[in-house]
Chains A and B, each alone.
Chain A
Amino acid sequence: MDDAGRALVDPSTPDTVRVLVADDEDDIRDLVCLAVAKAGCTVVRSLGDGAEALAAARAELPDLVVLDVSMPGATGLQVCEALRSDPATAGLRILLLSAGASSEDIARGLAAGADAYLPKPFGVAALVRQVRALTTGQPA
């Protein structure tokens, strides 16, 4: 996967839950993509830059956006706020990932508009549960 992002599946495929993943750490990004796949969803774009992730989210309108907080281009918090302030993207589900694990970090993430916040290091199973919960509306 490259930072410019690429579609892993045909975005037009119906009946699949489409997820956009953005994290500047290649290893983590790949891990998140694997977890998304384990959750039965499809990764439509995978990027390492916040500004590119925002543009991709506006273009793709995925069912779920998984964002790292600390990214070049724009932070996950900024992307989150931008998506929430735009009526076209305000309804997207957003999961924030971050190495910031304090209650203040989590509160900031939720205040920016995230639906859920998962501090690193996270387990794959926990991430899979969160993806499923956010895409199906079932509790994690």
Chain B
Amino acid sequence: MTTAVLDRSAPRQRVRQLTAAGVRGSVRGRLLPWAATMIATGGLLYAGTGAPATMLLAPVPVLVHETTRRLGAQAATIARLQEERTALATAVQARADELDLATRMLAARAQTMTSVIDAVTEQSIIGTDKDGVIRVWNPGAEKMLGLPRVDVVRKRSIVEFHVPEELESVAEDVGTAPGLAALVHAAQERGSDVRDWTYLAADGGRRTVAVAVTPRTDDRGVHAGWNFVGTDMTEARANEKMKDQFVSLISHELRTPLSSILGYLELVLDDEDETLSAEQRKYLTTVERNAHRLQRLVGDLLFTAQVEAGRFTLQPEDVDLAGVVRAAEETIRVTADAAGVEVGVEVPAGGLVVAGDAVRLGQACDNLVSNAVKFTPSGGRVTLALREVWQTPDGAVTAAERPGAVPVAQLSVQDTGMGIPAGEQGKLFTRFFRASTAQRNAVPGVGLGLTITKAITTAHGGTLDVVSAEGQGTTFTLTLPR
């Protein structure tokens, strides 16, 4: 059904064919009932001047101000969106600036790292990937191994700079494949490893290098390779060896004349047919005492040379530490009495047996007790206390057994002496080190006793700790597994 619409608004009347759907389609709204009827019956719908098709529609309460409101809302939305766009653009710019700054900072940091690594000319810094292919090669490595970076990076493996036999030997010891696995095994197990390795230089020369091996991770924390920081110890090790050989030789050579001195003194002093005057006997006894002192020094020198050379062995057996402590007290008693130092002993009545070398443990105990007496002024006190205790993994000591604790024997040697300055306590176990308090007070010694005691303790799987306050006293605590 069509309806003719006479539109008088047009310059010339024209009739349009409309349908109700067409009217509804051209204007939005509900058709007035009569208009709908007219359309349905095909009658003339309307002919008016300038009357739009919307006049056929029911009146809708949409007014100008509503349209304005809508427009306003849209304008507000547009304004908000514009604001948001502006804010977003500002944020993007800020992020871009931040990124730029970060990029520049990273570049600066990389430049700093590179310049620091490049400034290291006396130590080799070699970085590899997981397979040992070299990625970082600093001037120190160039100097040590005689190859420029360009010839090495991404072209050579770290393994090529190691002695194959050395890697094979380590691989055999630790049960890994030879090559990189042997080189990084310890660092893989413990997180880092420092030991001497032999590097092969480009000219075929061999260098003894103390190499610190550490794993390297990428920015996501994933294992990415290995770092090898090396210090050339070739000369230092040769000097150490020469020094130890010298000490060993001198000590060895001193023993022969000492044999003569002590042997003939013994003959004179013990000769029942020859009567010595009291004065002669006193002089010869002084000679003998000093010869024995020299003998101890020679023994200590030889022993430390053996420790340094790694040739120190123990003769293990069951040792009653209580007996060792009592013997040490007896040995020092005369000296302590003469020095006016009181020595107290507290040991378990039933003894305390550990597995160890009786001679060496006696030597360690003697050293601690002798030191305590030497460093304690007249009127002071030295206390030797031996306890049968338990030690937890964190080092705490308890009288009773606890889960996870291991049984230990603990000997503390406490004195009320001059003490050791805090800054020097870390060096106490270094060979030939003497505390400033010892030197100021002219306490005799050469600085070997504690080195030896520490070496003996360590060889027994024990620990040696010190607590000291200058002017108040010192306590050495020797802990041994039992």
Contacts and interface: CB of A to CB of B under 8 A. Distances in A.
Binding between chains A and B: yes
Interface of A: 25, 27-28, 31, 34-35, 99-104, 119-125, 127
A99 B256 contact: yes
A113 to B, nearest CB: 21
Interface of B: 252-253, 255-256, 258-264, 266-267, 270, 295, 299, 302, 306, 311, 313, 315
B266 A124 contact: yes
Given A101-B299, A124-B263, 17 more contacts: A28-B256, A28-B263, A31-B259, A31-B260, A31-B267, A34-B267, A99-B255, A99-B256, A99-B259, A100-B252, A101-B255, A102-B302, A121-B255, A121-B259, A123-B263, A124-B270, A125-B266
A28 B343 CA distance: 40
B259 A120 contact: yes
A31 B264 contact: yes
A95 to B, nearest CB: 14
B260 A101 contact: no
Chain B contact residues: over half helix, strand or loop, or mixed? helix
A35 B260 CA distance: 12
Contacts of A27: 260, 264
Contact of A121 (B262, B270, B302): B262
B256 A102 contact: no
B267 to A, nearest CB: 6
B252 A125 contact: no
A120 B258 contact: yes
A120 B255 contact: yes
Given A34-B267, A125-B270, A103 B262 contact: no
A102 B301 CA distance: 12
A3 to B, nearest CB: 17
Closest 10 CB pairs of A and B: A121-B259, A99-B255, A121-B258, A120-B259, A27-B260, A31-B263, A120-B255, A124-B266, A99-B252, A121-B262
B267 A124 contact: yes
29 contacts: A25-B256, A28-B256, A28-B259, A31-B259, A31-B263, A34-B267, A35-B263, A99-B252, A99-B255, A99-B259, A100-B252, A101-B255, A101-B299, A101-B302, A102-B302, A102-B306, A102-B311, A120-B259, A121-B256, A121-B258, A121-B263, A121-B295, A122-B259, A123-B262, A123-B266, A124-B266, A124-B270, A125-B266, A125-B270
A122 B259 CA distance: 6
A97 to B, nearest CB: 8
Contacts of B315: 103
Contacts of B267: 31, 34, 124
A139 to B, nearest CB: 18
Contacts of B266: 123-125
Contacts of B295: 121
Contacts of B313: 103-104
